[in-house]
Amino acid sequence: SSSMSIANNMFALFDRDHDGAISADELHHFFTKVGVDVDAEQVAALMREYDIDNSGGIEMAEFVPLLCKMLGKTLNTISELTHVKIIDKDEMTDLKQNLAKRTVHNPDKIIEHVVLLVVVAEEIFPVLKDFKPEEAPDVVEKLMHLGKAWTCTMKDKSAAYTLTIVQVADSVHYKRHYSGYTQVSALVPLIKKELQPDLLISFGTAGGWPGLAKVGDCVLSSGCVFIDRVRTSSKMAHDWGVFGGPVMDTHRMATDLDLVQGIVGSQISYAVTEQQVHLIKTLGIAALDMECASEAEVAMQVQLNFMAIKMVSNGIYPGNPKRMEEEYVENKAYVSQRGMETLTAVFRYLLGRRVGDL
């Protein structure tokens, strides 16, 4: 039959030596050729699942269920993407309009207190080294030990303000910072209530979308969205799920400091699906991080002036999260230096300005 012919042809693509069985090496070779990034452990798991008779190779009868699973996953992905595109046929106009509502609270107030909020310790080491802020145990207490804190004074001949640096606290079990999109968003309302800053800046690294942001660029967010929170039951549910929050208007600062402006999307992992690529292209997302959508969402609720500054540390490669993570590690030192240059320029720019001058 035609279906059996298709199965035979597919089997032949895997079975390179034509011995009637697909080995682990042949399985790995096929996935690599079609651009699917798999490691030896994943291949071994597939062999265990489909090599029913433990012969060391997947024969034709064992291959058919694997083929059906691959085709089914592909069809489901196409179906889901088609449904999302139908929902997004208006190009998410309402969502874009809500992101454009960049409210500035107390615009006439001279900036006296700025909070820099970060997740990863390494990303503020240069700041701690250059500006030499003092540890702030009183701030740590106010923030319920959800974050570490330092303070210093930024000043020139005619103006000054207090800079408080807050970094997400370490897990008592894993001795590493908590996940960015959970604990960091819990810090935002505490910062508003306990510290009452004029401005909250989210700082960290992000992946850059090709053509919009490259490694070493600084992206000043024009809005924040979730790319993992896709709901498809209705148009409103979809837009509400994707929407993170607007940021304060910073168009003057972006122009004066030559910063890239663009929407930042937040994700949970490095993986990027076809649905997420659709969101990225439709909204014109310039960079992906893991926390600013959560921060923006809460900052909007508590009426706190919020901006997100993201240093691009890696490219975005759908279907290849390993490459994204590897680039992040490779570029960490260079991006850290660029980040310090950017923050120094931003900190100086804020001196003596009103909140509404940005």
Q: Is the pLDDT of residue 78 over 60?
A: no
**pLDDT confidence of residue 33:** 84
Q: Is the pLDDT of residue 216 over 80?
A: yes
Q: Which of 16-30, 268-282, 286-300, 306-320 has the lowest mean pLDDT?
A: 268-282
pLDDT tens-digit map of 15-52? 999 999 999 999 899 888 877 777 888 889 889 988 99
Nearest Cα neighbor of 116 from 356, 295, 298, 301 is 295
Q: What global pTM score does this model have? A: 0.79
Alpha-carbon gap, residue 237 to 235, rounded angstroms: 6
pLDDT tens-digit map of 144-187? 999 999 999 999 999 999 999 999 998 878 777 766 678 899 99
Q: CA angle, 284 as apex, 226 and 242 as ends, to 5°? A: 20
**pLDDT confidence of residue 73:** 62
In 3-state terms, what secondary structure has residue 284?
Answer: coil
The type of residue at 324 is M
What domains are defined for the chain? 2-86 (1.10.238.10), 90-357 (3.40.50.1580)
In 3-state terms, what secondary structure has residue 222?
Answer: strand
pLDDT tens-digit map of 321-333? 888 889 988 998 8
- Reported as type and span, the H/E element at residue 253 is helix 251-256
Alpha-carbon gap, residue 207 to 146, rounded angstroms: 26
pLDDT tens-digit map of 228-267? 888 777 888 888 889 999 999 999 999 999 999 999 999 9
Q: Are strands 218-226 and 306-315 parallel, antiparallel or unpaired?
A: antiparallel
**pLDDT confidence of residue 346:** 97
**pLDDT confidence of residue 89:** 81
**pLDDT confidence of residue 17:** 94
Chain centroid, CA 302 distance in Å: 23
Q: What percent of the chain has pLDDT over 70?
A: 95
Mean pLDDT of the chain: 90
Cα–Cα distances (Å) from 277 to 95, 222, 266, 305, 316, in that order, read 17, 19, 13, 30, 10
- DSSP assignment, residue 122? G
**130 and 340 in contact (C-beta within 8 Å)?**
yes
**pLDDT confidence of residue 231:** 79
**pLDDT confidence of residue 224:** 97
Instruction: Give the phi and the psi of residue 132 in degrees, each rounded to 5.
Output: 50, 55
**pLDDT confidence of residue 194:** 98
Which has more pLDDT, 3 or 269?
Answer: 269
Q: Is the pLDDT of residue 227 over 70?
A: yes
